[in-house]
Amino acid sequence: MTRPEIAWTVLADGPAGAETLVVGSSLGTAVEPLWTACAKRLAQRYRVVGWDLPGHGRSPIADGSFTVADLAEAVLAEWPSGRARYAGVSVGGATGLELALRAGGVAEAVAVMCSGAQIGSAQNWQDRADFVRRDGTAAMVDGSRQRWFSPESRTQLPGAVTELLDSLVAADDDSYARVCEALATYDVRDRLGEIDIPVLAVAGADDAVCPPQQAHDIVDGVRTGRAVVINHAAHLAPAEQPDAVADLLLAWGIEEGDET
């Protein structure tokens, strides 16, 4: 296993001296269509920078196998100086938990969105990897439309839906498959108690991939955490409900004091 190369994009500059928010995306999506709408509001408080998964968005194609822990190491290798927090979706959220296990004193807190301490089964991920290597990411579009978006999102946000599904088609097939294989071995359920920075676990009420119970399970396992469920969102909450997600992240650590 090797630490993969990832590309970074500034999504919002924020005010002078702003705290940095590092954001990560889900399997099959690029960080810009997933986070840009939300980042426009987050710019009130944060400088927002995003990273793309290998072979997704601006990141180069994967040149070998890697784990979710390797993704966290890749993020930490380019971690911004000064005060910074992290928010990631799905595998980006899983990366956040792996990062939290390594980043005491580096990241002030992590937000884990539409994710879990384990996601799916190893066999299902290997089957997905084999399918995409054979048929390509374009064959995932119809199923992803149903899994990623709530009924309201599919009706009310056709532009965002199209842009995110286009980023799925544009993703490199083998890199997508390698992320699937990384998820097949990902499981930090027994290590949540080691995390010593605050965790905000956010779930979409309509998420069938990572149901809300998984957010509550994360919070039950960490030392300091809070779970929030967002209505009318499924698996891509920052794109489906950008204002609700922005409100959470703008108040994060201010109103709640980062307490459970």
Task: Give the pLDDT confidence score for residue 11 in this predicted structure.
Answer: 98
- Distant-in-sequence, close-in-space partners of 136: CB < 8 Å, separation ≥ 6: 173
Sequence-ordered list of residues with C-beta below 8 angstroms from that of 46, at least 6 positions apart, any chain: 12, 14, 18, 19, 20, 21, 85, 249
Q: Is residue 138 part of a domain?
A: yes
Is residue 260 over pLDDT 70? no
- pLDDT tens-digit readout, 216-250: 999 999 999 999 999 999 999 999 999 999 999 99
| Phi, psi of 216, deg, nearest 5 | -65, -35
Domain assignment present for residue 196? The answer is: yes
Question: What number is the average pLDDT over the span 175-196?
Answer: 98
Residue 120 near residue 68, CB atoms below 8 Å: no
Give the per-residue pLDDT at 2. Answer: 80
User: Could you tell me if residue 256 is inside a domain?
Assistant: no
* Predicted pLDDT of residue 1: 66
Percentage of the chain exceeding pLDDT 70:
97
* Domain annotation covers residue 231: yes
**Which pLDDT value is given to residue 90?**
99
103: nearest Cα among 128, 75, 138: 75
Mean pLDDT of 125-139: 98
The answer to whether residue 256 scores a pLDDT higher than 70 is no
Look at residue 258 in the predicted model and tell me its pLDDT: 43
What was the pLDDT predicted at 103? 73
The pTM (predicted TM-score) of the whole model is: 0.95
Strand partners, 12: 48
φ, ψ at 48 (rounded to 5°): -105, 120
- Looking at the structure of the chain, the number of domains it has is 1
Distance CA 93, CA 87 (A): 7
Going by pLDDT thresholds of 50, 70 and 90, the confidence category of residue 106 is confident
CATH for 135 = 3.40.50.1820
Query: What does the pLDDT read at residue 255?
Result: 54
Any domain includes 21: yes
Domain that holds residue 243: 8-251
Instruction: Please report whether residue 52 resides in a domain.
Output: yes
User: Is residue 260 assigned to a domain?
Assistant: no
